[in-house]
Amino acid sequence: MATSIPTDSKEKRILSAARAIFSTEGGALILEFLEAAAFMHRPAFIPGADGKVCAFTAAHNDGRRALVYELRKLISRAKADEETESKPKAKR
């Protein structure tokens, strides 16, 4: 289930905020932290002490990933929007 961003001015404000936040050194550091905390670089399915994988823990860990994927998608859209805005507009 994809999250949709409201259109028009709210969407532009959200994309602008994402650019402002995640284009900084601090924003990159926060994104790196969230990726580590959300199991982006390690398996979500981790065996417990008994050697078995708990389905609830695995689903929880996988759900944490979803938020980081949404953030990455938002950051990509913000960058693409910035590139589109910075291109000269053709005269008609």
Q: Is residue 88 part of a domain?
A: no
What is d(CA 51, CA 81) in angstroms, rounded to the nearest whole number? 47
Q: What is the pLDDT of residues 48-73, one digit of tens each?
A: 889 898 888 888 888 889 999 999 99
Phi, psi of 86, deg, nearest 5:
-85, -15
Q: Is residue 92 part of a domain?
A: no
Q: Is residue 18 part of a domain?
A: yes
Structural domain of residue 65, as residue ranges? 10-83
Q: Is residue 75 part of a domain?
A: yes
Q: What is the pLDDT of residues 4-62, one digit of tens each?
A: 655 578 888 999 999 999 999 999 999 999 999 998 888 878 888 898 988 888 888 88
Contact yes or no for 34/9 (Cβ under 8 A): no
What is d(CA 32, CA 68) in angstroms, rounded to the nearest whole number? 10
